[in-house]
Amino acid sequence: MAIKPSTIRCGNCYSNGEFGQKWTVWQVHEIQADGHSEEQGIQVQYRVLVGKHRRKYKLLSLEEFARQVRYEVELVETTWQRIK
């Protein structure tokens, strides 16, 4: 189950909820309105912290980003914990 786009916040981290090598954690760097295209609307720039393309910045629409993430996470010492 994806989270609601309205709950996504800049600076927070989110996971796709997968296991093994498919597991990914993203940190939202910036949320911005795309002035060039009404179709794309609000854009999310995020950084991959864990998983494929680690340390890279990427850009998705807010709706697409919300479909990919399953829950918010935070780093507690050396372990990513789900925020309930």
3-state DSSP assignment of residue 26: strand
CB atoms within 10 A of CB 51: 15
Contacts of 72 by beta carbon, 8 Å cutoff, 6+ apart: 3, 7, 12, 13, 14, 15, 82, 83
pLDDT tens track, the chain, 84 positions:
579 999 999 999 999 999 999 999 999 999 998 666 555 589 999 999 999 999 999 999 999 999 999 999 999 999 999 998
How do residues 25-36 score in pLDDT, each as one tens digit?
999 999 998 666
Instruction: Provide the pLDDT for residue 64.
Output: 95
Q: Which domains does the chain have, with CATH numbers?
A: 5-82 (2.30.30)
